[in-house]
Structure 1
Amino acid sequence: MARILLVDDDASLLEVLALAFQEAGHATLSARDGTAALALVRKERPEAVVCDVNMPGLDGFSLCRRLREQGDAVPLILLTSRDSEIDETLGLDLGADDYIAKPFSMRVLLARVAALLRRDALRRKAEAEPAPIESGPLKLSPDRLEVLFHGRHVAVTVTEFRLLEALVRRPDLVLSRARLLSIVRGDDTVVVDRIVDTYVRRLRRKLEQVDPTFDRIETVIGAGYRFRAFRG
């Protein structure tokens, strides 16, 4: 059983969400705005956050930004009635792990949260530290979800780490967006695969902040992405 923080200014929707998650075996915490949610995250340390974007005061985007700026990597899914690529990209750029437009299927939401929780549980329950994944100056530590590039720490979300790990573990192989989503999410829910483009763009930007010449994640037009291994 995991504790899920539900954040929405719509009291009726909060009740529906709480009931669905409780029936799925989870404990729930609720907040009506981002300020209250931020305090609950700090105090209660939930395993995941499901947050509406459109709220008075501290909205979902701002809550996500605050958490990531504070170094909190709690899995976070944004809900919004504004179904646009700009909003989706903004949410992911701020560090959200997923994005679902209203109206949504409760089954899909539960599946997305379950996938995030499974990945986090596997990491926390690992008895021994697995060997790091290395390619030249790039080093990934799966148990700590830590990325080091030229000896410098690169802050990434769970989803970003899994995507980079999938590419680095399969050097020089072309992976389709659908295949990458399958590896990263660990479920079979249907999503728009352009989300992968956003994740890749974020990873490139973060690695380029360490080394502006970084160009190892290649776009293969019409096919997907591949990681060119460091040689020598």
Structure 2
Amino acid sequence: MARILLADDDASLLDVLTLAFEEAGHATQTARDGATALALIRKERPEAAVCDVNMPGLDGFSLCRRLREQGDLVPLILLTSRDSEIDETLGLDLGADDYIAKPFSMRVLLARVSSLLRREAARQKAEAAPAPIASGPLELSPERLDVLFHGRPIVATVTEFRLLEALVRRPGVVLSRARLLALVRGDDTVVIDRIVDTYVRRLRRKLEQVEPGFDRIETVVGAGYRFRGYGG
């Protein structure tokens, strides 16, 4: 369920929109003019807004312009009774995400709002994704479990990736096999800690295929392993 702001000076259409969106499982707020819509967007932070262009006081174009000038990226669909290519271009140039001319299919409007919500969720997820971890030519992407070394992809299993990540995140720190297993597995499962040696051998072999003589993963006899970061 998403919170949707509906803004239109046509009370009957606003009632129809409210019913349709609530039947689709959304929570709605309504406004009869642009100024009220702008205030509600700022205060209530809806997840999307559907606004008529021809509203009194502050029209849909001006509302869109103010939001975008202030850096507000709330997904916004403009509705208009003027089926004009010029109007559509203006609305999109101002930063509207979509534009629908009246009369319109309610099913189409709901589908376009759902598409915007999915796109916004994906954008927020991407922004919240862990930043890549870099050490010299080695780059790890925790969100995608990708390893790049000297710009070349390294195929690593999930366990190998987590092991390499644990080491690279702590350059110079000696990590025991038991500690590495705890960081990699994230549970208390009892396994032979010497399995870490196998994972390290595999990682070294894969990295050596790109950089012969790779020696950044060091064995500390009797203690465990550490990563010697580039530049250190």
What's the TM-score, normalizing by structure 1? Answer: 0.55
Q: Deviations over 1:70-107 (max 9, x none)?
A: 11000000000100100000101110000000000000
Q: What is the aligned length?
A: 132
1:73 aligns with 2:73: yes
| Matched AA of 2:58 | L
Structure 1's consecutive aligned runs of 4 or more residues displaced over 4 angstroms after TM superposition are none
For 2:90, the equivalent position in structure 1 comes to 90
SS in 2 for 1:42: helix
| Matched AA of 1:32 | R
CA distance in 1, matches of 2:125, 2:69: 26
CA distance in 2, matches of 1:4, 1:40: 11
For 1:156, the equivalent position in structure 2 comes to none
- Identical counterparts, % of pairs: 84
Map 1:20-169; keep pairs closer than 5 Å.
20-125=20-125, 128-129=129-130
CA distance in 2, matches of 1:97, 1:106: 17
| Matched AA of 2:73 | A
| Matched AA of 1:129 | P
- TM-superposed deviation, 1:125: 4.0
For 1:196, the equivalent position in structure 2 comes to none
CA distance in 2, matches of 1:2, 1:11: 22
| Matched AA of 2:101 | A
- TM-superposed deviation, 1:55: 1.2
Decide which structure has the larger Cα Rg and report it: 2
Q: Deviations over 1:7-48 (max 9, x none)?
A: 000111111000000000000010000100010001100000
| Matched AA of 1:44 | E
For 2:3, the equivalent position in structure 1 comes to 3
| Matched AA of 1:53 | V
Alignment RMSD (CA, Å): 1.6
What's the TM-score, normalizing by structure 2? Answer: 0.55
SS in 1 for 2:46: coil
| Matched AA of 2:34 | G
| Matched AA of 1:128 | A
- TM-superposed deviation, 1:123: 3.1
SS in 2 for 1:35: helix
Q: Deviations over 1:190-213 (max 9, x none)?
A: xxxxxxxxxxxxxxxxxxxxxxxx
SS in 2 for 1:83: coil
Q: Deviations over 1:130-185 (max 9, x none)?
A: 76xxxxxxxxxxx9xxxxxxxxxxxxxxxxxxxxxxxxxxxxxxxxxxxxxxxxxx
- TM-superposed deviation, 1:124: 2.9
CA distance in 1, matches of 2:121, 2:131: 15
- TM-superposed deviation, 1:119: 1.3
CA distance in 2, matches of 1:130, 1:110: 34
| Matched AA of 1:10 | D
| Matched AA of 1:101 | A
CA distance in 1, matches of 2:93, 2:122: 25
- TM-superposed deviation, 1:120: 1.3
Structure scoring higher RCO (CA < 8 A, sep ≥ 6) equals: 1
- TM-superposed deviation, 1:122: 2.5
